[in-house]
């Protein structure tokens, strides 16, 4: 299974020190919005174009079955999810993709991808923040966010497989309302965890 994306500590998240027009509160709000978009993505994958109202898509049930029976996930199922995720992102309004990007930009994975910071240990923490801000601007305004789009795509797929694995033994027996409620709780727990860390 794909490595789960982890947010950096709140003290390392985007703020005014990055020389971006982003306060800590705006950054926090955008991450929360991103978690809500992620919940919508999960709901969409579970039920979009299903063969009957309230019926979980067969490819989701197949993933759950493979997890619950201890089998490997077939390549064709990964490909199916990848294609569906690409379709979802293609149709997603820009403002919602931006919200998802804030999750990525505040992640350990993104921080680890910054070559200049990771290859020069002489930078102060403030200098690292400013370099991060510069890289974010370059990612968004110069490269057309191609690498960022790939990271969002990877993140959503990872979250889908993590969610299905967690509920693989029970998901097929749950009502439509129950599944939707669990997805909401899953999303809200991420928001609650972030809020608690911000307070700490």
Domain ranges in the chain? 23-199
> Does 109 have pLDDT greater than 80?
yes
- pLDDT band (50, 70, 90) for residue 142: low
- Which long-range CB contacts under 8 A does 78-86 form with residues at least 24 apart? 78/157, 81/45, 81/157, 81/160, 81/161, 82/153, 82/157, 84/45, 84/48, 85/41, 85/45, 85/153, 85/156, 85/157, 85/160, 86/153
**DSSP codes joined into one string, 6-37:** -BPPGGGS-SGGGTSS--HHHHHHHHHHHHHH
In this structure, of 37-46, 69-78, 94-103, 119-128, the range with the lowest mean pLDDT score is 119-128
Q: What average pLDDT does range 2-16 have in this prediction?
A: 74
Q: What average pLDDT does range 115-135 have in this prediction?
A: 76
Query: How much is the pLDDT for 36?
Result: 93
Query: How much is the pLDDT for 198?
Result: 53
Query: How much is the pLDDT for 40?
Result: 95
pTM of the model: 0.84
For the chain, the average pLDDT equals: 84
Distances from the Cα of 4 to the Cαs of 49, 107, 147, 155, in angstroms? 28, 10, 18, 8
- pLDDT band (50, 70, 90) for residue 163: very high
Q: What average pLDDT does range 10-24 have in this prediction?
A: 76
> Does 180 have pLDDT greater than 80?
yes
> Does 187 have pLDDT greater than 80?
yes
């Amino acid at each position: 299974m794909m490595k789960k994306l982890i947010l950096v500590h709140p003290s390392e998240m985007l703020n005014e020190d990055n020389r971006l027009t982003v306060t800590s509160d705006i950054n926090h709000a955008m991450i929360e919005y991103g978690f809500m978009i992620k919940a919508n993505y999960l709901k969409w994958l579970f039920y979009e174009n299903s063969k009957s109202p309230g019926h979980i898509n067969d490819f989701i049930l197949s993933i759950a079955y493979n997890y619950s029976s201890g089998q490997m996930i077939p390549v064709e199922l990964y490909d199916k999810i990848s294609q569906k995720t690409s379709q979802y992102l293609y149709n997603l309004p820009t403002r919602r993709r931006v919200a998802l990007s804030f999750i990525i930009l505040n992640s350990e994975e993104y921080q680890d991808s910054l070559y200049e910071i990771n290859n020069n240990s002489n930078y102060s923490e403030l200098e690292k923040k400013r370099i991060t801000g510069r890289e974010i601007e370059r990612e968004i305004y110069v490269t057309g966010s191609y690498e960022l789009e790939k990271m969002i795509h990877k993140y959503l797929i990872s979250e889908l497989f993590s969610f299905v694995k967690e509920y693989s033994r029970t998901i097929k027996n749950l009502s439509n309302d129950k599944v939707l409620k669990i997805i909401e709780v899953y999303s809200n727990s991420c928001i609650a965890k972030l809020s608690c860390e911000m307070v700490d």
